[in-house]
């Protein structure tokens, strides 16, 4: 039996009214009443300042908010133009909205956005999160412009982060993505990004929208789809990333499940692309010269080491089934070392991750459990990082990151070997 | 004596704008004349227009197409005699066509005897009929209108060794309306023509009559006093005659020229015109809706004059810089198409000879509130010649047939005041009245039919307008209402087919009757009224409750 259309009739009616657009900005929301108005204003100002001739639509995709998110969207549509400092567009900037009747997920939201992009034949699209505190009109323009004017298909943001912000991306996601997929895209799991209508159409056709990794964190999948499809990717330096309010982001377990689990799944579904590739290439990077690391206060390492040590002990049988004996032995050894002299070696870290990826592929145990087993090891790596870089400058940390990336690339044959080995 | 309602004839008018020089040459000298124009009145009557607006036909050195008048009370010999004009006027009136003439009140030619006297010495009694200064720094900051040719609003007069003020070309000195003698002289001029029988004047360049230090020298209160005085005199001595203001300003500024119904009867709505073109190119109703929303109500007896093209450049003064750039890029990509702050092109070439778009724009012109003006030749889709200099490219001879000189003149082609349009697309062999008369489906035949429809329903000329706001922004829909008469207009501004749902709950149970084919459409019910429109298609429906 054919799948029911996921597009609501009312949404379709709105799309019919909009017709064709050059630009589409999607704003996924769920209980964002307090910030949505500001986000909408930034998006509209961006369109007015930078794309005055283009046909544009702003699409709010809501996951069933129980606060006043929907009312904020409707009201701001009525008040629009009043607060734009005399800016005016040649054309109507369409505002449309839809609600999907599933539990809130970035994937469902993105599915509606790419469907809208496909049906509206949008040339350039951006996803902007109302949860990001400091979205500026320039951000929106910078994500759209490389797609609209330079012909790119995927544009990731590039943020300046404090030295101790985004460590999961720095130590794991970025270097591993770079080594596996061969493109140096730094922020694969950002909440804002740009993409082409062509990529939207390709993604829409994929039968993966019910897969949990796509439902939860679709942005990296979209980027990897672009890379795998030979489409042009780039990144735009947006400046400092506003931190989400405390307590609103996922905890480390959930973050690893969502990102690393997602990444392993992407490796699985795109193995035909990456298995035969080596080395990595820089992607087009736009924006002013920039430093990627700024000053910041290191988080307290207390407990982190203990959690690592306890985890290694408690998860010993599970780790034994995931890791090669030698790797496992080395980890157990460092877990017993003096915490003040603790060092999680780069080589070991890369090998560990590659073994996790291969075990995920071979499904040596429940994949979700497998990914969660990485959490204590990541904590160990994090603790080691904090010890080593408490007094490092941003530049030194960047240099270290580059060395780590190269290590990931150097060991990629090991990954391929483990991945392709008969289980 | 006309009735009160008949005095409002200008509200129901469809005005045809022409220059006598361009229309028909009766004496084979290569220049159109009043006898030639008179011979073509049957054509204009057949077209369905009921007023003619004549561009200046007075004696003039013709350095600004007659807007540099050297004698206000006679006819340029090239166009015939005063008697020829009177004969034309009688013939037009016999066909129930009114005649509006151009009255260039702000300035004269520097060849006008008034100016010749004024410059002859500083003591001459006419000296004070113009605006003089020993320096060229007075009224600094006042904008220059013809930016392509003029560097200053002051010009040096070597004879009287002082500067004279001119808002337009330097050979067009501004009259000094602070001088009561000037006002009286101009009233005498108007009386002269009103006594002959003209039905109204289009007053050129009205905002600039008065100058004051520290102001923009535009739209000053003293200017309005002059207009009010003029209007009072006309109402008293010549009831039923009409004054039309040329004030290229924003609606909020033009509105003052209606006064309390005691200044102009009509004024051009300049900002609407470029926005109609913009809306079609953008495929979005926003520019039209925005400008009409900004347009204030006008007194009951007043009316806007609306137009698509005229003898001047398509002026882009009343648009933002962003809008102007867009218009240039979309409609005047060749720099030769641009002049001053505007575009010197005709309607059909601007629409790339796309009949659907020409019809859509003409449909808009004839269905929006205001008295429409059709520029000669646009009813057959005439082309232009952007290489003729100034704005002469849109002032070429009328194309009557595919024969000798397009049927415009029996003179040798070299004698014509302007070359004919002769290219393969717009040339007179392809585009002319005779060939279009022979086809029921020609642009000319279509234009006649749409004018006939408009003339049959007073709601178009006098009715209110209420915009519908369907979510499809490519569709511009509005209801015109006058008493029980209701007309629904739905325009697809885009190049692709569109579906639109209209909220017509106010007209529930009404039956839409398509006005050109007189076909019935489904009765309006509880649901939004669904229509589909082809590219650039439009519907005019009469809404009837039967």
Q: What is the 3-state secondary structure (H, E, C) of B275-323?
A: HHHHHHHHCCCHHHHHHHHCCCCCCCCCEEEEECCCCCCEECCCCCHHH
User: Taking CB atoms and an 8 Å limit, are B501 and A53 in contact across chains?
Assistant: no
Q: Rounded to whole angstroms, how far apart are CA atoms A386 and A232?
A: 36
Q: Which residue has the tokens 């495929």?
A: B283
Q: What is the CATH number of the domain that holds B516?
A: 2.60.40.1180
The answer to whether residue B520 sits within a structural domain is yes
**Does residue A324 sit in the same domain as residue A250?**
no
* Length of chain B as a residue count: 546
Which bin fits B483, alpha (ψ -120 to 50), beta or left (φ > 0)? Answer: left
DSSP secondary structure code for residue B56 in this structure: P
Helix (H, G, I), strand (E, B) or coil at B501: strand
Q: How many CA atoms lie within 13 A of B189 on its CB side?
A: 23
**Does residue A309 sit in the same domain as residue A283?**
no
Predicted confidence at residue B248, as pLDDT, reads 86
Query: Any residues with CB less than 8 A from the CB of A7 and at least 6 apart, and which?
Result: A15, A98, A112, A115
Q: How many CA atoms lie within 13 A of A164 on its CB side?
A: 18
DSSP secondary structure code for residue B520 in this structure: B
The answer to whether residue B160 sits within a structural domain is yes
B346: its two tokens: 């005709």
Predicted confidence at residue A3, as pLDDT, reads 59
Whether A89 and chain B come into contact, CB under 8 Å, resolves to: yes
In A, which residues are within 8 Å of B472 by CB distance?
Answer: 16-19
- B199 is a catalytic site residue: no
DSSP secondary structure code for residue B508 in this structure: T
More confident residue, A81 or B516: B516
A194: its two tokens: 């740009």
Helix (H, G, I), strand (E, B) or coil at B425: coil
In B, which residues are within 8 Å of A89 by CB distance?
Answer: 286
User: Taking CB atoms and an 8 Å limit, are B286 and A52 in contact across chains?
Assistant: no
Q: Rounded to whole angstroms, how far apart are CA atoms B405 and B494?
A: 38
Domain closes at, from A232, A266, A294: A294
The answer to whether residue B492 sits within a structural domain is yes
Pairing of strands B303-307, B371-375: parallel
pTM (two decimals): 0.85
Q: Are A78 and A95 in contact (CB under 8 A)?
A: no
Nearest to B288 by CA among B259, B251, B315: B251
B248: its two tokens: 């290229």
Tell me the nearest-neighbour CA distance from B387 into chain A, angstroms.
30
The answer to whether residue A3 sits within a structural domain is no
**Does residue A189 sit in the same domain as residue A75?**
yes
A156: its two tokens: 């990731």
Q: Are B70 and B109 in contact (CB under 8 A)?
A: yes
The residue of chain A nearest to residue B284, with distances taken between CA atoms, is A91
Q: Which of B102, B204, B313, B378 is catalytic?
A: B204
Nearest to A315 by CA among A356, A346, A272: A356
The answer to whether residue A1 sits within a structural domain is no
The answer on pLDDT for A83 being more than 50 is no
User: Taking CB atoms and an 8 Å limit, are A92 and B473 in contact across chains?
Assistant: yes
Of the partner residues A18, A55, A90, the one whose CB lies closest to the CB of residue B322: A90
User: Taking CB atoms and an 8 Å limit, are B471 and A88 in contact across chains?
Assistant: no
**Does residue A288 sit in the same domain as residue A226?**
yes
User: Taking CB atoms and an 8 Å limit, are A94 and B474 in contact across chains?
Assistant: no
Residue A157: C-alpha distances to residues A72, A103, A160, A274, B146 (Å): 27, 27, 10, 23, 49
Predicted confidence at residue A250, as pLDDT, reads 63
DSSP secondary structure code for residue B173 in this structure: P
The answer to whether residue A299 sits within a structural domain is no
Tell me the nearest-neighbour CA distance from B326 into chain A, angstroms.
8
Domain closes at, from A294, A316, A331: A294
Task: Quickly count: other Cβ atoms within 10 Å of residue B141's Cβ.
Answer: 8
**Does residue A213 sit in the same domain as residue A337?**
no
pLDDT, tens digit only, all 546 positions of chain B: 667 788 999 999 999 999 999 999 999 999 999 999 999 999 999 999 999 999 999 999 999 989 999 999 999 999 999 999 999 999 999 999 999 999 999 999 999 999 999 999 999 999 999 999 999 999 999 999 888 889 999 999 999 999 999 999 999 999 999 999 999 999 999 999 999 999 999 999 999 999 999 999 999 999 999 999 999 999 999 999 999 999 888 888 889 999 999 999 999 999 999 999 999 999 999 999 999 998 999 999 999 999 999 998 999 988 999 999 999 999 999 999 999 889 999 999 999 999 999 999 999 999 999 999 999 999 999 999 999 988 999 999 999 999 999 999 999 999 999 999 999 999 999 999 999 999 999 999 999 999 999 999 999 999 999 999 999 999 999 999 999 999 999 999 999 999 999 999 999 999 999 999 999 999 999 999 999 999 999 999 999 998
The answer to whether residue B501 sits within a structural domain is yes
The answer to whether residue A317 sits within a structural domain is yes
**Does residue A235 sit in the same domain as residue A342?**
no
The answer to whether residue A31 sits within a structural domain is yes
Predicted confidence at residue A182, as pLDDT, reads 95
Dihedral over alpha carbons A138, A139, A141, A142 (to 10 degrees): 110
What is the CA angle B227-B233-B239, rounded to 5?
Answer: 110
Predicted confidence at residue A243, as pLDDT, reads 60
Query: Any residues with CB less than 8 A from the CB of B180 and at least 6 apart, and which?
Result: none
* Residue ranges of chain B whose CB lies within 8 Å of a chain A CB: 278, 282-287, 320, 322-323, 326, 470-474, 494, 496, 498-501
Of the partner residues B283, B322, B473, the one whose CB lies closest to the CB of residue A52: B322
Q: Rounded to whole angstroms, how far apart are CA atoms B280 and B432?
A: 26
Global ipTM: 0.75
Q: What is the CATH number of the domain that holds B146?
A: 3.90.400.10
Pairing of strands B475-482, B338-339: unpaired
**Does residue A13 sit in the same domain as residue A157?**
yes
Q: Are B381 and B374 in contact (CB under 8 A)?
A: no
The answer on pLDDT for A88 being more than 80 is no
**Does residue A270 sit in the same domain as residue A381?**
no
**Does residue A199 sit in the same domain as residue A258?**
yes
User: Taking CB atoms and an 8 Å limit, are B473 and A16 in contact across chains?
Assistant: no
* Mean pLDDT, residues A222-249 taken together: 82
- B317 is a catalytic site residue: no
Note which residues in 7-36 of chain A have CB less than 8 A from chain B: 13-14, 16-20
DSSP secondary structure code for residue B177 in this structure: T
Which candidate in A14, A54, A90 is best for mutational testing of the B interface (most B CBs within 10 A)? A90
**Does residue A203 sit in the same domain as residue A326?**
no
Count Cβ neighbours within 10 Å for each residue of A159-193 and write b for 16 or more, e otherwise: bbbbbbbbbbbbbbbbbbbbbbbbbbbbbbbbbbb
Domain closes at, from B142, B165, B188: B165
Of the partner residues B320, B471, B496, the one whose CB lies closest to the CB of residue A17: B471
**Does residue A282 sit in the same domain as residue A319?**
no
DSSP secondary structure code for residue B174 in this structure: B
Q: Which residue has the tokens 């209606």?
A: B258
Predicted confidence at residue B465, as pLDDT, reads 96
User: Taking CB atoms and an 8 Å limit, are A17 and B285 in contact across chains?
Assistant: no
In B, which residues are within 8 Å of A53 by CB distance?
Answer: 326
User: Taking CB atoms and an 8 Å limit, are B474 and A52 in contact across chains?
Assistant: no
Q: What is the CATH number of the domain that holds A248?
A: 3.90.550.10
Instruction: Give the structural domain span for B475.
Output: 463-544
Tell me the nearest-neighbour CA distance from A261 into chain B, angstroms.
42
Of the partner residues B286, B500, B501, the one whose CB lies closest to the CB of residue A91: B286
Whether A81 and chain B come into contact, CB under 8 Å, resolves to: no
Question: Distance from CA of residue B213 to its chain's centroid?
Answer: 32
Count Cβ neighbours within 10 Å for each residue of B290-299 and write b for 16 or more, e otherwise: bbbeebeebe
User: Taking CB atoms and an 8 Å limit, are B473 and A52 in contact across chains?
Assistant: no
The residue of chain A nearest to residue B279, with distances taken between CA atoms, is A91
| B43-46 contacts at long range (C-beta below 8 A, 24 or more positions apart) | B43/B433, B44/B16, B44/B95, B44/B97, B45/B95, B45/B96, B45/B97, B46/B448
Instruction: Give the structural domain span for A285.
Output: 9-294
Q: Which of B102, B246, B312, B384 is catalytic?
A: B246
Q: Which residue has the tokens 């008293």?
A: B236
Tell me the nearest-neighbour CA distance from A11 into chain B, angstroms.
12
Domain closes at, from A245, A270, A294: A294
Q: Are B109 and B69 in contact (CB under 8 A)?
A: yes
CB pairs under 8 A between A and B: 45
Residue ranges of E strands in B149-249: 154-157, 162-165, 200-204, 242-245
**Does residue A139 sit in the same domain as residue A175?**
yes
The answer to whether residue B526 sits within a structural domain is yes
Per the structure, the count of domains in chain B is: 2
Q: What is the 3-state secondary structure (H, E, C) of chain A?
A: CCCCCCCCHHHHHHHHHHCCCCEEEEEEECCCHHHHHHHHHHHHHHHHHHCCCCCEEEEEEECCCCCCHHHHHHHHHHHCCCCCCCCCCCCCEEEEEEECCCCCCHHHHHHHHHHHHHHCCCCEEEECCCCCCCCCHHHHHHHHHHHHHHCCCEEEEEEEEECCCCHHHHHHHHHHHHHHHCECCCCCCCCCEEEEHHHHHHHHHCCCCCCHHHHHCHHHHHHHHHHHCCCCEEEEEEEECCCCCCCCCCCHHHHHHHHHHHHHHHHHHCHHHHCCCCCCECCEEECCCCCCEECCCCCCCCCHHHHHHHHHHHCHHHHHHHCCHHHHHHHHHHHCCCHHHCCCCHHHHHHHHHHHHHHHHHCCCCHHHHHHHHHHHHHHHHHHHHHHHCCCCHHHHHHHHHHHHHHHHHCHHHHHHHHHCCC
Of the partner residues B326, B499, B500, the one whose CB lies closest to the CB of residue A90: B326
Q: How many CA atoms lie within 13 A of A14 on its CB side?
A: 20
Question: Could you tell me which residues are beta bridge partners of residue A235?
Answer: A156, A285
Q: How many CA atoms lie within 13 A of A330 on its CB side?
A: 15
Q: What is the 3-state secondary structure (H, E, C) of B105-152?
A: CCECCCCCHHHHHHHHCCCCCCHHHECEECCCCCCCCCCCCCCCCCCC
pLDDT in tens, A196-232: 999 999 999 999 999 999 998 899 999 999 999 999 9
Tell me the nearest-neighbour CA distance from A91 into chain B, angstroms.
6
B280: its two tokens: 């079609």
The residue of chain A nearest to residue B329, with distances taken between CA atoms, is A53
In A, which residues are within 8 Å of B326 by CB distance?
Answer: 52-53, 90
Per the structure, the count of domains in chain A is: 2
Of the partner residues B323, B470, B471, the one whose CB lies closest to the CB of residue A90: B323
């Amino acid at each position: 039996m054919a799948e029911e259309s996921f597009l609501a009739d009312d949404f379709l009616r709105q799309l019919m009214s909009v017709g064709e657009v050059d630009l589409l900005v999607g704003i996924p929301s769920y209980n964002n009443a307090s910030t949505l108005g500001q986000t909408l204003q930034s998006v509209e100002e961006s369109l007015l300042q930078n794309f005055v001739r283009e046909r544009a639509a702003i699409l709010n995709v809501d996951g069933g908010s129980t606060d006043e998110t929907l009312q904020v969207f409707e009201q701001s549509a009525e008040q629009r133009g009043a607060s734009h400092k005399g800016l005016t567009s040649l054309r109507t900037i369409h505002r449309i909205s839809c609600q999907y009747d599933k539990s809130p997920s970035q994937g469902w939201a993105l599915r509606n956005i790419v469907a809208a992009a496909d049906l509206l034949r949008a040339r350039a699209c951006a996803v902007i999160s109302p949860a990001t505190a400091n979205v500026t009109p320039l951000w929106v323009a910078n994500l759209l412009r490389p797609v609209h004017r330079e012909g790119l298909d995927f544009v990731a943001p590039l943020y300046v982060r404090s030295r101790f912000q985004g460590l999961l991306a720095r130590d794991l996601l970025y270097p591993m993505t770079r080594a596996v997929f061969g493109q140096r895209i730094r922020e694969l799991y950002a909440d804002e990004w740009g993409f082409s209508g062509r990529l939207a159409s390709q993604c829409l056709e994929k039968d993966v929208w019910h897969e949990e990794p796509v439902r939860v964190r679709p942005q990296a999948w979209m980027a990897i789809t672009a890379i795998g499809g030979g489409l042009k990717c780039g990144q735009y330096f947006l400046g400092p990333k506003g931190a989400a309010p405390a307590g609103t982001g996922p905890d480390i377990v959930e973050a690893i499940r969502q990102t690393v689990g997602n990444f392993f799944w992407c490796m699985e579904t795109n193995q035909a692309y990456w298995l035969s590739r080596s080395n990595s290439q820089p992607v087009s990077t736009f924006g002013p010269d920039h430093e990627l690391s700024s000053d910041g206060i290191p988080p307290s390492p207390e407990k982190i080491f203990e959690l690592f040590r306890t985890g290694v002990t408690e998860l010993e049988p599970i780790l034994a089934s995931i890791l090669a004996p030698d790797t496992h032995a080395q980890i157990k050894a460092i877990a017993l070392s003096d915490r003040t002299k603790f060092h999680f070696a780069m080589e070991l870290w890369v090998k560990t991750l590659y073994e996790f990826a291969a075990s995920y592929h071979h499904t040596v145990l429940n994949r979700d459990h497998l990914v969660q087993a990485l959490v204590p090891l990541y904590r160990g790596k994090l603790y080691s990082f904090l010890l080593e870089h408490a007094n490092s400058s941003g530049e030194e940390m960047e240099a270290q990151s580059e060395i780590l990336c190269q290590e990931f690339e150097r060991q990629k044959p090991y990954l391929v070997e483990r991945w392709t080995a008969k289980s | 004596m006309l009735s009160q309602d008949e005095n409002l004839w200008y509200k129901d008018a469809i005005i045809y704008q022409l220059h006598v020089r361009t229309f028909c040459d009766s004496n084979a000298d290569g220049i159109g004349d009043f006898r030639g124009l008179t011979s073509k009145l049957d054509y204009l009557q057949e077209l369905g227009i009921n007023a003619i607006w004549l561009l200046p036909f007075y004696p003039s050195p013709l350095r600004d197409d007659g807007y540099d008048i050297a004698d206000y009370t006679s006819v340029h010999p090239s166009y015939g005699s005063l008697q020829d004009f009177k004969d034309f006027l009688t013939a037009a009136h016999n066909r129930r066509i009114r005649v509006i003439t151009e009255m260039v009140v702000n300035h004269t030619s520097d060849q006008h005897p008034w100016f010749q006297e004024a410059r002859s010495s500083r003591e001459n009694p006419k000296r004070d009929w113009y605006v003089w200064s020993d320096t060229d720094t007075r009224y600094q900051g006042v904008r220059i209108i013809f930016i392509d040719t003029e560097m200053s609003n002051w010009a040096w007069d070597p004879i009287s060794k002082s500067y004279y003020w001119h808002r337009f070309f330097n050979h067009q000195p501004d009259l000094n309306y602070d001088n009561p003698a000037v006002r009286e002289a101009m009233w005498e001029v108007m009386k002269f023509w009103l006594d002959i029988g003209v039905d109204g004047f289009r007053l050129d360049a009205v905002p600039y009559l008065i100058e004051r230090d520290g102001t923009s020298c535009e739209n000053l209160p003293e200017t309005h006093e002059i207009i009010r005085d003029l209007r009072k005199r006309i109402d008293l001595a010549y009831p039923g005659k009409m004054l039309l203001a040329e004030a290229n300003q924003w609606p909020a500024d033009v509105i003052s020229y209606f006064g309390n119904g005691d200044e102009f009867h009509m004024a051009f709505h300049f900002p609407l015109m470029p926005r109609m073109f913009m809306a079609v190119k953008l495929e979005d109703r926003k520019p039209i809706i925005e400008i009409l929303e900004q347009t204030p109500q006008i007194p009951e007896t007043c009316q806007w004059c609306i137009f698509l093209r005229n003898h001047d450049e398509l002026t882009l003064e009343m648009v933002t810089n962003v809008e102007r750039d867009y218009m240039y890029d979309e409609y005047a990509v060749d720099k030769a198409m641009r002049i001053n702050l505007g575009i010197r092109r005709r309607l059909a070439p601007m629409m790339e000879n796309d009949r659907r778009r020409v019809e859509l724009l003409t449909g808009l012109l004839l269905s929006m509130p205001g008295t429409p003006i059709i520029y000669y030749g646009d009813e057959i889709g005439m082309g232009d010649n952007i290489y003729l200099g100034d704005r002469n490219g849109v002032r070429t001879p009328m194309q009557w047939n595919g024969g000798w000189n397009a049927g415009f003149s029996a003179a040798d082609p070299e004698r014509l005041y302007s070359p004919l349009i002769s290219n393969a697309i717009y040339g007179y062999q392809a585009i002319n009245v005779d060939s279009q008369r022979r086809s029921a489906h020609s642009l000319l035949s279509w234009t006649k039919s749409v004018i006939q429809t408009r003339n049959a329903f007073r709601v178009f000329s006098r009715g209110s307008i209420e915009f519908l706001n369907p979510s499809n922004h490519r569709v511009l829909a509005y209801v015109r209402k006058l008493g029980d008469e209701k007309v629904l207009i739905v325009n697809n501004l885009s190049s692709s087919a569109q579906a639109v749902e209209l909220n017509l709950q106010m007209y529930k149970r009404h039956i839409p009757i398509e006005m050109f084919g007189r076909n019935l459409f489904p009765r309006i019910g509880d649901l939004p009224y669904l229509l589909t429109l082809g590219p650039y298609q439009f519907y005019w429906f009469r809404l009837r409750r039967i």
